Amino acid sequence: MDPESIERKYRRGVFPGRFQPFHLGHLEVVKWALKHVEELAIVIGTAQESHTVVNPFTAGERIIMIRESLKEGNIDLSRILIIPVPDILMNSVWASYLRLFVPEFDVGISRNPLVVRLFKEAGYSVLVPPSFERNKYSSTRIRKMMIAGDDAWRSYVPNAVSRIIDMIDGVKRIREVIGGD
Amino acid sequence: MDPESIERKYRRGVFPGRFQPFHLGHLEVVKWALKHVEELAIVIGTAQESHTVVNPFTAGERIIMIRESLKEGNIDLSRILIIPVPDILMNSVWASYLRLFVPEFDVGISRNPLVVRLFKEAGYSVLVPPSFERNKYSSTRIRKMMIAGDDAWRSYVPNAVSRIIDMIDGVKRIREVIGGD
Amino acid sequence: MDPESIERKYRRGVFPGRFQPFHLGHLEVVKWALKHVEELAIVIGTAQESHTVVNPFTAGERIIMIRESLKEGNIDLSRILIIPVPDILMNSVWASYLRLFVPEFDVGISRNPLVVRLFKEAGYSVLVPPSFERNKYSSTRIRKMMIAGDDAWRSYVPNAVSRIIDMIDGVKRIREVIGGD
Amino acid sequence: MDPESIERKYRRGVFPGRFQPFHLGHLEVVKWALKHVEELAIVIGTAQESHTVVNPFTAGERIIMIRESLKEGNIDLSRILIIPVPDILMNSVWASYLRLFVPEFDVGISRNPLVVRLFKEAGYSVLVPPSFERNKYSSTRIRKMMIAGDDAWRSYVPNAVSRIIDMIDGVKRIREVIGGD
Amino acid sequence: MDPESIERKYRRGVFPGRFQPFHLGHLEVVKWALKHVEELAIVIGTAQESHTVVNPFTAGERIIMIRESLKEGNIDLSRILIIPVPDILMNSVWASYLRLFVPEFDVGISRNPLVVRLFKEAGYSVLVPPSFERNKYSSTRIRKMMIAGDDAWRSYVPNAVSRIIDMIDGVKRIREVIGGD
Amino acid sequence: MDPESIERKYRRGVFPGRFQPFHLGHLEVVKWALKHVEELAIVIGTAQESHTVVNPFTAGERIIMIRESLKEGNIDLSRILIIPVPDILMNSVWASYLRLFVPEFDVGISRNPLVVRLFKEAGYSVLVPPSFERNKYSSTRIRKMMIAGDDAWRSYVPNAVSRIIDMIDGVKRIREVIGGD
């Protein structure tokens, strides 16, 4: 019997983010969350947007980055759902809108104060994960390194993400996108 | 006979704003407008947005803030309509879109040069209210005070607004929203 | 003390409809609802649509039809809110979306099984009003009479509605709309 | 001097339609309209839709069908604008929305009673063209012939339209679309 | 070595449907498709709609119905992606829009002539699965049985689907939805 | 025979821009493009927006500015299409969406790195026009001059644009728009 299952008091948790890109801090949150929930739905927000400075990658690319990173991290995929969700642009409706795309869930997982509030206003419990060196692991910081030509960004993401970004020539894309904005 | 009715040359006026929140300057505009129009439609714009730094309160909350403020100010509610209208994001269509939500009107009321222009381009008369210490009574300034923890904001809004914001724990909301942006 | 207030166990109720047009059956529901709630929000649905066979009148026209009918019926307007709400086209999000436009409410009022379900799924109590001769008082039936040139429709609506429809030449509009569909 | 210019009392007219496809009846309307206006804007409505039973062709395909038909009919293209406009789904706003896409115009051209009404409500003059054997020249009838495999549809459209529909294999498309609805 | 892998000539296939609900015919398509592709993305279309007669179940409910059915059918989940996609309402853009939500794919899988056409117009290969008794296994037919109170629908869906529909009281929902349409 | 036709290896090119307003640099691009393509579709992007600081002019006004400028420049209008296209806000779908509004094309024309990339990702050839003193001819710079009251902007646009902006009182509009933002 899995000794960690004692802690798992929630049936299904939701971990929303934009994951532009998915990094090692996100991976730590996933591992941490799996100690508390039986199943985890990773919600890829702003799914409709890509090829912009803040959202360079498509939802499809982000799905595959996350999936491959979890495989690489030996995470049991049968406990994971990866669900892209386009923006709704009405914050007070957001939690209810999420419920449309995600199977029934009983806990939200986030460090973002607005997201925590929106989950709570909709009646959900919330788990706030530890910070996992947030200053170090930051998608914004990683995108800035890519733009600046600093290859150090690779050390902040799972190998799978680094590999996929190369495959889609993602660093070139983000630089071209800046030129067009 | 009401001596002020002499001045009332318009049948129905429209006073658009976001009212985030409704303050004493807005209340002065309402009182002033009621000298010129028989009936006043207060249009709550950007009705779809809430829980953001510039639009912290829902349309429903803003409706009740305005209604209670008018009661407190002894304004005859039978001469007032309060109508929430979501954004349309096409300025040149805005006046026509407004006409969809508001009963037939013959004058627009605003100090905002763009709004004045859009009313005029659509063939409406416009009344520009006096400034009523605009630098002092400003929703932006009130929200900044809330964020900064300066309780002085209460002196710039009707008591009803202050009371409703407390009831919905609005100051806490606006601070959490900032953290999540 | 108002003897009927004993029955009023809800703070604020929501009565949604399209009101194309508002008829005597709707008026009975409003009177009935006011026995159970302190304040009633009449929500005008499909607010964005007009000039179609099923939705001939604009939200603004419907606001004024309802308001004048309530005045004619001697209903205390200080206990009434009339709020237009555009469609959202995602049923499971509808109740949450309604909460965006309507001040906090604790009961839904409807005979429509879908609407009843959506209120309940969102955790609201629901009051189902008596039928008030629904076969007789039906907006669909009234619109059909208008199209057929049967003036009997006037006996199914408040005088105010009849008067406003004349003022906006509404019968002619509904007939022209049919020609263009 | 062009003797017909005597009749031309309008500066710019708007002729809206879906043109699925553009047929000889439409061509007659264009010729007729050019007697009354100096410049004619042909507005291709429901521009966003294609590959459906009622809207098989894209806006781009319709633009080229119209343009080539006008060339074939020796119509002076310098007096013509062809402008695709997506649906807005709010009838009362439609004329104002049209004004966003079309250079300033002073007359609407239509036989559709709803369209005539919407132009008039927005303050425009309207020219109602003669019927030009409307029962014979009808896009709906033409699409039905295509579906039924009746090649007679070709006699109701300009040669250019027949040629372009062949080029894009349009008859096959409309039949496959039916299978998928 | 897996002898069936010889047949797998495509890297990733896309199987779109509304799955209202997922039935045994769909399951056969999935099994068949896995002989031809290494990975299969099951795309849940019209993801935004629920609580209507043709789309009674939410995207979240459909995700879990499919996932549990695949587990029950001993299908290797590491070869499956389940991705909800809201409607775009522009057929000619649909395949490109799909590419936004789905990781890079090289073949579409469908029997629907319109869907086949849209995949082909976008340059994709298409696999048309065998019919698998389509007259028998039909979501429309299953929903009709539910409405008629005919429990035979259970024999046309995986046990998991039957169980989940009971859990969410789905038959009652579909009947109430009809009453409100 | 036209000696330049030797160079024309593309059938139809697409030149997208916002043209707020159309200036002499744009005109040079059009002339240059016509050496390479038989027909040029000038696509007016962000067609839905007007009366804002970055998009002061409506699509209709921009159509007429471009058309009159081309006439003034003696450009053969029978080789030009001017097509307004509203934003889609999903970059990866943009080229496919463009294909909906524009007749079949085989080359994109742009200096914008993002636009170049989006054309290429969709499989189109791209022609990058020479710079034509881009620092001098810039819509942003022209709008800034208008706001600052510097009449020198007139020397950077075709006379037709200058004349049309006067006719619609465009400089006043852009200044009022700033006041209302």
For residue E4, what pLDDT is reported? Answer: 52
User: Is chain E adjacent to chain A, meaning 3+ CB pairs within 8 angstroms?
Assistant: yes
- What the block records as the tokens of C13 is 């109720």
- φ, ψ of residue A74 to 5 degrees: the values are 55, 35
Decide if D90 is inside a domain.
yes
SS (H, E, C) chain C: CCHHHHCCCEEEEEEEECCCCCCHHHHHHHHHHCCCEEEEEEEECCCCCCCCCCCCCCHHHHHHHHHHHHHHCCCCHHHEEEEECCCCCCHHHHHHHHHHHCCCCCEEECCCHHHHHHHHHCCCEEECCCCCCCCCCCHHHHHHHHHHCCHHHHHHCCHHHHHHHHHCCHHHHHHHHHHCC
**Are β-strands A37-44 and B10-17 bridged in parallel, bridged antiparallel, or unpaired?**
unpaired
3-class DSSP assignment, residue B84:
strand
Residue in chain A lying closest to C89 (CA): A97
Q: Please report which confidence band the pLDDT of residue E136 belongs to, taking 50, 70 and 90 as the band edges.
A: confident
Count of C-beta atoms within a 10 Å radius of residue E159 = 11
Can you tell me which residue has the tokens 């308001």? C67
Angle between helices D113-121 and D94-101 (to 10 degrees): 80
Give the whole-angstrom CA distance, residue B50 versus residue B174. Answer: 10
Contact A11/A106 with Cβ under 8 angstroms? yes
Question: With b meaning 16 or more CB within 10 Å and e meaning fewer, what string describes B12-36?
Answer: bbbbbbbbbbbbbbbbbbbbebbeb
Contact (CB<8Å) F96/E93: yes
Residue B56 in this model has a pLDDT that exceeds 70: yes
Instruction: Give the pLDDT of residue F56.
Output: 98
Q: How far is the C-alpha of F57 from the C-alpha of F18, rounded, in Å?
A: 10
Secondary structure of E21-88 in HEC code, one letter for each residue: CCCHHHHHHHHHHHCCEEEEEEEECCCCCCCCCCCCCCHHHHHHHHHHHHHHCCCCHHHEEEEECCCC
Residue E41 has pLDDT above 90, yes or no: yes
Q: Are F51 and F23 in contact (CB under 8 A)?
A: no
User: In the prediction, which pLDDT does D8 show?
Assistant: 77
Q: Do D114 and C49 touch (CB under 8 A)?
A: no
pLDDT > 80? residue A6 = no
Residues in chain C within 8 Å Cβ distance of D90: 48-50
Measured between CA atoms, the residue of chain C closest to residue D110 is: C180
Q: Does A49 sit within 8 Å of F113, measured CB to CB?
A: no
In a domain, A181, yes or no: no
What would the two tokens of residue A126 be?
């919330």
What pLDDT, in 10s, does the model give residues F141-160?
A: 999 999 999 999 999 999 99
Strand order in the sheet with A37-44: A80-84, A37-44, A10-17, A107-109, A125-127
Judge whether residue F8 has pLDDT over 60.
yes
For chain A, the distance separating the N- and C-terminal CA atoms, rounded to the nearest angstrom, is 54
| Average pLDDT of the residues in F112-116 | 96
Residue type for position A114:
L
Provide the whole-model pTM. 0.95
Residue of A nearest to C122 (CA): A96
Is the CB of B99 inside 8 Å of chain D's CB atoms? yes
> How many other CB atoms are found less than 10 A from the CB of residue D121?
16
Residue B111: give the domain boundaries.
Answer: 3-179
Report the percentage of chain D scoring pLDDT > 90. Answer: 90
The neighbours of chain E, by the rule of 3 or more Cβ pairs under 8 Å, are A, C, D, F
Neighbours of F6 (CB within 10 A): 9
Query: To the nearest whole percent, how much of chain E has pLDDT over 90?
Result: 90
Question: What is the separation, in whole angstroms, between the first and last Cα of chain F?
Answer: 54
Distances, alpha carbon F178 to alpha carbons F148, F164, F181, in Å: 11, 21, 6
| Position A134 confidence tier, pLDDT thresholds 50, 70, 90 | confident
Residue B13's pLDDT band, with cuts at 50, 70 and 90, is very high
Summarize the confidence of residues B34-52 as an average pLDDT. Answer: 97
The arithmetic mean of pLDDT across residues D34-38, rounded, is 97
Residue bearing the bigger pLDDT, D8 or A137: A137
Find the mean pLDDT for residues E83-89.
96
Q: Which residue type sits at C68?
A: E
Looking at residue C2, its pLDDT comes to: 55
- In this prediction, residues A89-101 reach a mean pLDDT of 96
Q: Is the pLDDT of residue E145 over 60?
A: yes
* Predicted local distance difference test score (pLDDT) of residue F6: 56
Report the C-alpha gap between A123 and A110 in whole angstroms: 15
- Cβ pair B51:A115 closer than 8 A: no
Work out the minimum CA distance from F45 to partner chain D, whole angstroms.
Answer: 11
- Among candidates B152, B112, B100, B120, which has minimal Cα distance to B29? B112
Residues of A in contact with C121 (CB under 8 A): none
What's the mean pLDDT when you consider all of chain B?
Answer: 94
Q: Which two tokens stand for residue D69?
A: 């038909």
Q: Which candidate in E89, E90, E93, E118 is best for mutational testing of the F interface (most F CBs within 10 A)?
A: E93
Q: What is the pLDDT of residue D161?
A: 98
List of chain A residues whose C-beta atoms are within 8 Å of the C-beta of residue C100: 90, 92-93
Would you state the pLDDT for residue F133?
81
Searching chain E, which residue's CA lies closest to the CA of residue A88?
E48
pLDDT (average), residues D139-145? 97
Instruction: Give the total number of structural domains in chain B.
Output: 1
pLDDT tens-digit map of E108-120: 999 999 999 999 9
A115 within some domain: yes
Query: Nearest CA to A177 among A95, A58, A59?
Result: A58
Q: Does the interface predicted TM-score (ipTM) exceed 0.90?
A: yes
- The better pLDDT of the pair D88, C136 is held by D88
Quick check: F111 pLDDT over 60? yes
Condensed to tens digits (0 to 9), the pLDDT of residues A101-123 reads 999 999 999 999 999 999 999 99
Residues listed for chain F? 181
Average pLDDT, chain C: 94
Chain C: closest CA distance from residue A97 (Å): 6
Is there a contact between A109 and A129 (Cβ–Cβ < 8 Å)?
yes
E176 and C89: CB-CB below 8 Å? no
pLDDT of B45 over the 80 cut: yes
Of F55, F91, C84, which is closest to residue A47 (Cα–Cα)?
F91
How high is the pLDDT of residue D1? 45
Residue C129 CA: distances (Å) to CA of C6, C27, C112, C113, C132: 18, 12, 10, 12, 8
- pLDDT for position A8: 77
Closest to C28 in 3D by CA, of C106, C114, C133: C133
| CA gap A21, A5 in Å, rounded | 30
Supply the CATH number for residue E71's domain.
3.40.50.620
Q: How confident is the model at residue C1 (pLDDT cuts 50, 70, 90)?
A: very low
- On whether any CB of chain E is under 8 Å from the CB of D147, the answer is no
Contact D59 F99 (CB under 8 A): no
CA distance E73 to E24: 10
Q: Do D64 and F99 touch (CB under 8 A)?
A: no
pLDDT band (50, 70, 90) for residue E1: very low
Angstrom distance (rounded) from CA B73 to CA D1: 70
Report the pLDDT value the prediction gives residue F51, as an integer from 0 to 100.
Answer: 97
pLDDT > 70 fraction of chain C, expressed in percent and rounded: 95
Does A117 reach chain B within 8 Å, measured CB to CB?
Answer: yes
Q: What is the pLDDT of residue F1?
A: 46
pLDDT digit string (tens) for C72-116? 999 999 999 999 999 999 999 999 999 999 999 999 999 999 999
Q: How far apart are CA A104 and CA E58, in angstroms?
A: 10
Percent of chain E clearing pLDDT 70 (strictly above): 95
Going by their DSSP bridges, the two strands A10-17 and A37-44 should be labelled as parallel
B140 touching chain F per CB within 8 A: no
Q: CA–CA distance from A36 to each of A23, A30, F26 (Å)?
A: 21, 10, 59
Backbone angles phi, psi at D81, to 5 degrees: -120, 140
What is residue F4's predicted lDDT score, i.e. its pLDDT?
Answer: 53
Given an 8 Å threshold on Cβ–Cβ distance, is A177 in contact with F117? yes
What is the pLDDT, as a whole number, of residue E15? 98
Cα separation, E157 vs E56, whole angstroms: 16
pLDDT tens figures, A21-76: 999 999 999 999 999 999 999 999 999 999 999 999 999 999 999 999 999 999 99
Three-class SS of residue F45?
A: coil
Q: Domain for residue D181, yes or no? A: no
Q: pLDDT at position C134, please?
A: 77
Closest CA relative to residue A44, chosen from A27, A25, A24, A21: A21
Inspect the interface and report whether the beta carbons of C100 and A92 lie closer than 8 Å. yes
